[in-house]
Structure 1
Amino acid sequence: MNPFQPQAAGLPSGSFGARRGAAFRVQPLRRLLAAPHRLAFAVGGVLLLASALWWALAQVAPALGLPLPWLLDPALAQAWLLGVAVWPLFLVGLLWDALPRWLGCPPLAARLLAVPLALVAGGAGLAVPGFHVSTPLAALGLAAVAVGLALLAGLVGLTVLEHRSAPGHVHALPALLALAVLALGTWAGALALALGQGLALQLALQAALWLGLVPLAVALARPDGASLTPSGSRQGVLQRLPWLWLGTAAGLTLLHPDVPAQPALLMGCLGTLVMGRATAVSLRQAGRPPRIGHAVWFSACAAQGAVLAALLAPSVAPLQAGGGLALLAAQFWLGAVALWAWHLRPSLLRLPAGGH
């Protein structure tokens, strides 16, 4: 027998081709786990896109003659989803990017965030159908979100406690307190929803937003105390718009409580802040210059249009144009977050500067 007889065509099992395919499947997960902010941004991006798609479907369904059932006021449901589930994930990513500089400590292993992030995302996934068909399911979802936020606050607290002698630990304390208040407000909302207490549910949301989410966002808007970029630049505009929308939301809440302030706060203030800050952090960590490109700028502009349409929709509702404006706002918002998330994706999947 000739020991060198030809073999059948193709690569054997365990060959380079198979190994390369397995490595290709593992690479994205390994790169997301390269830094804690990557995992938080990735989960937050998926949840943000899913929430925008859900809201767009909720607005277009009545136009198709298929209105969705609601057990909770739609604006209140969207505010709970964005305020305690979506934006906190991005802010937690920004916080874990800032903590090593504040405390002089190594970054946290991203895998430690997996369970808390999964609880927040999974809780949101339970709450959304619960808003339509089952109050206990919605309450269970909010409770899971609260547990996830509490675990995240616990991780931050342990890190701050371990490095309490660092001079920068005073910068981390306001963010830690705000995250803890956000978790408590979410838990109170879950309890109020389970007990059918509408007023308590409203109060819990206001406490979670104004005493938890807003202070957390303010603490992370400029974590290094850098001065604002000149107002004529794109980055300068995105740095100033959140404060404009925050003032608008506060004014509406105090002076015109009958006008919903959530679009200005959750879409205008938080949306613009997260787009600017998360883009800069992701680009910097990926070894690219933190600039506001055309895609991010267009996404931010579309988001501003969505906020304006959402704010005007209740005012023109008596003229039977409110539904059209609400649908327009949902479409603009979906387009804005989809384009921004797609633009952010390569930076999250690129190895950090100096990584291998």
Structure 2
Amino acid sequence: MTSSATVPVSLGERSYDIVIEPGLLERLPGRLEHLDVRGKVGVVTDRHVKRHYAKQVIAALTKKRLEPVLIALPPGERTKTLTSVQSILDVLATHRFERSSWLLALGGGVVGDITGFAAAIYQRGIPFVQIPTTLVAQVDSSVGGKTGVDHRLGKNLIGAFYQPRAVWIDPMTLRTLPEREWIAGLAEVIKYGIIADEPFFSFLEREMPAIRVRQPDGVAAIIKRSCEIKASVVAADEREGDRRRILNYGHTIGHALEALGGYRSLIHGEAVGIGLFQEADLACYQGMCDRSTVQRIGDVVQDAGLSVDMPRWPSSRLWKAMLHDKKVSGGQVVGVWPEKIGQVRVAPLGRKVFERWYAERKDAPPQRVAAKASRK
């Protein structure tokens, strides 16, 4: 994997670059100098990522005569709480961090969201940099300035919009990513093709076998294109007033499934993968797209190694969990529904429609092999 790229996120005075560069962590001192990082630097990570990369990052900071402070949290979605944010703030206050001090988020989406939120509220805002080490974080959560934590009643209910000063992506970190996490991250990649780019979706259909085994060129391509799409959407709608809502496709049902499982049974990308297919099926039920669109989505999700099957929750429990999502508006569940590959619409969902669909739905796409053969 040798290709490098820079993707700008154009937000006026809050603009920054996403730098995608294999081996970036080895050249971290130069990146720090380019951004003029000075003084105390808190490195927030989790205990898994710490084992692989913390020593290298701390050495780079020390080489630049900075003052690193390592903050290692337990791994997993259940760490994404106000208690964890409080623990970061305690360290910053104890070490007398100032407004000119920095935070580095070294890890996956949970680390990035927590670190960004802590940066947003400590002394009313200090600068931070995202250094994502998982696929989900590299293609999605590290970009766009959404920070925050979960509440026991719903995911991401507490947080703030706060942009990083940079996103530094080293695709080489994906080599140490567990297989389950890698596959789960592909759900967010597939999402981008569905919401905005049919040619990219077709690329995923063709190249998914190579992508599954982390073929370097395929990995580089999906990271770059995903970041480009995310950056363009964020630049058009930073605070999710309109256009940015399309990024929630697959997450209305996905977030509800995560919450119902207590953030234990499904990791984020697995839940989103189910949501991609089930929300397409629900869109088809409402007459928004044809069955072939649902079929294609179901096929590529499964080719990525993800399930499309809905866990056996009563419809009333699932609906209640969906009502606690931050995307609810005026007491209504608002979803993102594909009209065709590359085009979606945002529209409310009625409970009666949802319950009828839920009672009649089928989990897996039918005639999968025949459908794939007909597209060749």
TM tier, smaller: under 0.3
Looking at both structures, which has the greater relative contact order when contacts are Cα pairs under 8 Å and sequence separation is at least 6? 1
More helix by share: 1
- In our comparison, the structure showing a higher alpha carbon Rg is 1
More strand by share: 2
